[in-house]
A = this chain, B = another copy of it.
């Protein structure tokens, strides 16, 4: 399930995308943490070990990876984009209390509807909002 860096390197090579140190680090962060970070969060995390890193490079890298379908841009809130290594179909659940994002499996085929039969579907996105189990039980404690 988890994508291997080696596979990604192959894909990049096939697509003629040069894997610089900066791009590698962005990819590693996305693969290892799988935390759906924002560009800002990625930048802050990587900047510690890489003080010369520029935020523009983070944005550029994410754009390039997204254009080559190695990274998916997650749009849940209007004021921030998050990024996800592409791993096949899944939905996202964002907890409105702690802000954490959870993956959940989804059967996209069950969504096919005759109303869209003449449309060409390129990208499918599902996100839910609500409260995660931990935040629910925390609220109970407060009461």
Chain A interfacial positions (CB closer than 8 Å to B) = 73, 75-78, 80-81, 91, 93, 95-96, 102, 104-107, 110-111, 113, 115-116, 118-133, 136
Contact = CB atoms under 8 A, between A and B. Distances in A.
A93 B78 contact: no
A128 to B, nearest CB: 5
Given A75-B76, A81-B78, A122 B96 contact: yes
Counting every copy of the chain, the complex holds 2
A110 B106 CA distance: 10
Given A73-B78, A113-B105, A116-B93, A128 B136 contact: no
A141 to B, nearest CB: 16
A106 B111 contact: yes
Contact of A110 (B75, B110, B121): B110
Contacts of A80: 78
6 contacts: A93-B116, A102-B119, A119-B132, A120-B130, A123-B129, A125-B129
